[in-house]
Chains A and B, each alone.
Chain A
Amino acid sequence: MTTLDASRPTHLNIEASSDNYLTHTRGLLSWAFTLDHKRIGVMYMFAILGSFFVGGVFALLVRTKLLFPDAVNWMTAEQYNQAFTLHGAVMVFLVIVPSIPAALGNFILPIMLGAKDVAFPRLNLASFWLWIFGAIFVVISLLAGSFDTGWTFYTPYSTRTTLGGVVWVITGVFILGFSSIFTGMNFIVTIHKLRPPGMTWFRMPLFLWALYSTALIQVLATPVLAITLALVAIERVFHIGVFDPAMGGDPVLFQHFFWFYSHPAVYIMILPGMGIISEIIAVHSHRHIFGYRFIAFSSIAIAFFSFLVWGHHMFVSGQSGLMGAVFSLITFSVAIPSAIKVFNWLATLYKGSISLNTPMLYGLAFLFLFTIGGLTGLHLGTLNTDIHLHDTYFVVAHFHYVMMGSALIAMVGGLHHWWPKMFGRMYSEALGKLGCVLVFVGFNVTFFTQFMLGSHGMPRRYYLYQPEFQIYHVISTCGSYIMALGFIITGICLLKSLFSGKPAPANPWGGRSLEWQCPSPPPHDNFPTTPRVGDCYDFSIVRWDDSAGGYVVDRSLDPELNPNAPKRAGAHH
């Protein structure tokens, strides 16, 4: 394949020495006060996975209660309210919002840029510790009497409920908001100022475009959530009369402010997932991503449109008819960039040489689940169908397809994609695939049933229900058990690899972007000097190398990186 002099090194030949970011320094404090983006990313990851476990336990409690239409003696209605509230709050604020940017993004973004770190390493560490403090406040709120407002903290209930944990959890979410803002600030500046030579805006890996759009939303939307929640706490304590109708306030206004953040926040959750899928699909199909510019622009378009549609959450909560119509109309526009992405991913798969590795399985699962989640969103964005479906299980199913079936599945897929890079170990493909299939099947059994449940009229968040709905609930709960089993197997698969996995090559999948050109796990400084980059989706210069036990990016073949490179057909852009 290569005609070059064999003695001449053809790839970034950084010695995979014993010194990597994991072994660079030792001791607990060297982690707690590290400024290394990779360590911060890893700490974030384990913290988030821990929260994911907690949130999952609450979900299973809720699902188990719903096996029975009547009251159960092991869980009162009040406890049930607290359980689903905690499930929602933990999963949204502690898990999904930070999951991809703060954990995977932190680890991968600077390496993809060939940079030594993010622009503000101290701010990055502060972001992590703010996350920890936010989580501590959530725990304190449990000790202080818990809360049962739902994760949305709707007024006037949140200003009136007698449970003592409300102000604490609001403080926690306020702090978590700033953690998220700091991550976003860091990413915006890093992408603007630390790109390597050769990487123009339209040469960036699509994961970076996704993180960039996400960061813009984080920075522009999160402050509104912070101040809104602060106002709820103030209203609760001082009764200043902004949201509480008993003091002349307007509770619908809270919903406006809340959804001004929380609709864009669903794109904080899904956009980075879309970025991961762009990477996974291109790398594991070994084919140039189709429609690069469309995918990149659609990320920005989604970020922008996401600010214009929040009122579709308020069609039946006292919003005026005019605004309902306006918001319904604009909501459809968001479907366009999302659909553009899906079609481009499908076009990338077409005639690609697909390797069905575990990350690719997650990628395909994402395509399936996101399509269902996205299309059912249109039913809810339509003014008149939403009147029927509002606050039913249909909504629950829809946002689980998007937030869990898409965002979290992408996160887990990305975890599998970059796990060998992060820890230098390969996991068992068999176990990984088994976990993925179980999660996929369990997920659909759990939530597809809920579409039916909802369209038949079962309201969400109810403790008791009509016996006619029981069969759906039983199926749904069984699905959640299958899913739990899938996640347990996945967890075992990944943890086991840390101890007995075989060492990972630098590039196990055939990736082209910079993170696949530095050793696994990466050294402390990532790259000795910033390398030049070419087209990061041109896989024609990636070849298998038996001696490395993985793929190698043959930089000598890229005319952009080597003027003497042989001319090849199809290598221009």
Chain B
Amino acid sequence: MSSPSHSHSSHGHGEQPLVGHLVPMSTLIGTGLGLILLTVVTVAVVEVDLGELNIVIALAIAAFKATLVCLYFMHLRWDKPFNQLMFFGSILFVLLLMLFCLMDVGQLRKTIRGGNPTGVQAVLDAEAPTAPIAKNKPQ
């Protein structure tokens, strides 16, 4: 059964909530500023060409920002373990879908066709027969 996260001692309209966790204002502002800073960093980093590493860094920063939002804005750090499991578990299921599909697509990469798909070619023939892209006829 559930148990209150805080004692019942603070009835009425006190400084402590009856249930749940109070995150101090300084933490919230600090987190917000940190997130803005990280946004600036991620925009700046993209100007540097690091090849494949660019996307890795961008995603790593995004994941770090998301973690900050979760832990502090969403109080997940102080929440029930099952709520934490629910959240991170759902991400695992997304990764599962992504991974298996990527494995399949990766296997079939070679067979993907060249040339414009028929629908695109139809539009180009009708609307923009001279556009350079129109030269990519289906093979």
A-contacting residues, B1-50, CB 8 Å: 1-2
The answer to whether A320 and B119 touch across the interface, beta carbons within 8 angstroms, is no
The answer to whether A245 and B117 touch across the interface, beta carbons within 8 angstroms, is yes
Cα separation A250 to B96 with both chains bound (whole Å): 19
The answer to whether A197 and B1 touch across the interface, beta carbons within 8 angstroms, is yes
B-contacting residues, A183-197, CB 8 Å: 192-193, 195, 197
- The reply to whether the CB of B120 lies closer than 8 angstroms to some CB of chain A is yes
Cα separation A239 to B120 with both chains bound (whole Å): 10
B-contacting residues, A237-280, CB 8 Å: 239, 241, 244-250, 252-253, 256-257, 260
Q: Which residues of A contact B118 (CB under 8 A)?
A: 245-246
The answer to whether A320 and B104 touch across the interface, beta carbons within 8 angstroms, is yes
Q: Could you say which of A192, A246, A318, A319 has the most chain B C-beta atoms within 10 Å of its C-beta? A: A246
Q: Which residues of B contact A246 (CB under 8 A)?
A: 117-120
Q: Which residues of A contact B90 (CB under 8 A)?
A: 220
The answer to whether A323 and B103 touch across the interface, beta carbons within 8 angstroms, is yes
Cα separation A192 to B107 with both chains bound (whole Å): 42
Contact of A193 (CB < 8 Å), options: B2, B97, B107:
B2
Give B105 Cβ to nearest chain A Cβ, in Å: 8
Cα separation A34 to B103 with both chains bound (whole Å): 49
Q: Which residues of B contact A260 (CB under 8 A)?
A: 97
The answer to whether B107 and A321 touch across the interface, beta carbons within 8 angstroms, is yes
The answer to whether A244 and B107 touch across the interface, beta carbons within 8 angstroms, is no
Q: Which residues of A contact B2 (CB under 8 A)?
A: 193
Cα separation A307 to B117 with both chains bound (whole Å): 33
Cα separation A341 to B105 with both chains bound (whole Å): 36
- The reply to whether the CB of B108 lies closer than 8 angstroms to some CB of chain A is yes
Give B118 Cβ to nearest chain A Cβ, in Å: 5
The answer to whether A307 and B107 touch across the interface, beta carbons within 8 angstroms, is no
Q: Which residues of B contact A326 (CB under 8 A)?
A: 100, 103
Q: Which residues of B contact A318 (CB under 8 A)?
A: 108
Contact of B101 (CB < 8 Å), options: A239, A249, A256:
A256
- The reply to whether the CB of A322 lies closer than 8 angstroms to some CB of chain B is yes
- The reply to whether the CB of B88 lies closer than 8 angstroms to some CB of chain A is no
Contact of A308 (CB < 8 Å), options: B82, B96, B104, B119:
B96
Cα separation A245 to B119 with both chains bound (whole Å): 8
Residue of A nearest to B121 (CB): A246
Chain A's interface: helix, strand, loop or mixed, by majority? Answer: helix
Q: Which residues of A contact B97 (CB under 8 A)?
A: 224, 256-257, 260
The answer to whether A248 and B117 touch across the interface, beta carbons within 8 angstroms, is yes
Contact of B104 (CB < 8 Å), options: A224, A248, A249, A319:
A319
Query: A500-530, CB under 8 A of B: which get 1 and which 0?
Result: 0000000000000000000000000000000
A-contacting residues, B102-116, CB 8 Å: 103-105, 107-108, 116
The answer to whether B107 and A220 touch across the interface, beta carbons within 8 angstroms, is no
The answer to whether B93 and A323 touch across the interface, beta carbons within 8 angstroms, is no
Residue of A nearest to B82 (CB): A192
Q: Which residues of B contact A197 (CB under 8 A)?
A: 1
Cα separation A314 to B3 with both chains bound (whole Å): 47
Give A234 Cβ to nearest chain B Cβ, in Å: 15
Query: A191-235, CB under 8 A of B: which get 1 and which 0?
Result: 011010100000000000000000000001000100000000000
Q: Which residues of B contact A247 (CB under 8 A)?
A: 117, 119-120
Give B126 Cβ to nearest chain A Cβ, in Å: 14
Contact status of A256 and B100, CB under 8 A, knowing A220-B90, A320-B107 = yes
Q: Which residues of B contact A320 (CB under 8 A)?
A: 103-104, 107-108
A-contacting residues, B62-92, CB 8 Å: 82, 90
Cα separation A348 to B117 with both chains bound (whole Å): 60
The answer to whether A248 and B120 touch across the interface, beta carbons within 8 angstroms, is yes
The answer to whether A220 and B82 touch across the interface, beta carbons within 8 angstroms, is no
Contact status of A323 and B96, CB under 8 A, knowing A239-B119, A248-B117 = no
Q: Could you say which of A252, A320, A322 has the most chain B C-beta atoms within 10 Å of its C-beta? A: A320
Give B137 Cβ to nearest chain A Cβ, in Å: 14
Residue of A nearest to B112 (CB): A250
Residue of A nearest to B116 (CB): A248
- The reply to whether the CB of A311 lies closer than 8 angstroms to some CB of chain B is yes
Contact status of A311 and B117, CB under 8 A, knowing A193-B2, A220-B90 = no
Cα separation A319 to B106 with both chains bound (whole Å): 11
The answer to whether B93 and A307 touch across the interface, beta carbons within 8 angstroms, is yes
Cα separation A311 to B100 with both chains bound (whole Å): 9
Q: Which residues of A contact B120 (CB under 8 A)?
A: 246-248
Cα separation A225 to B93 with both chains bound (whole Å): 14
Chain A residues with CB under 8 Å of chain B are 192-193, 195, 197, 220, 224, 239, 241, 244-250, 252-253, 256-257, 260, 307-308, 310-311, 318-323, 326
Q: A220-B93, A322-B104 are known; give 13 further A-B pairs, CB within 8 A.
A: A245-B117, A246-B118, A246-B120, A247-B119, A248-B119, A253-B101, A256-B100, A308-B96, A311-B104, A320-B107, A322-B103, A323-B100, A323-B107
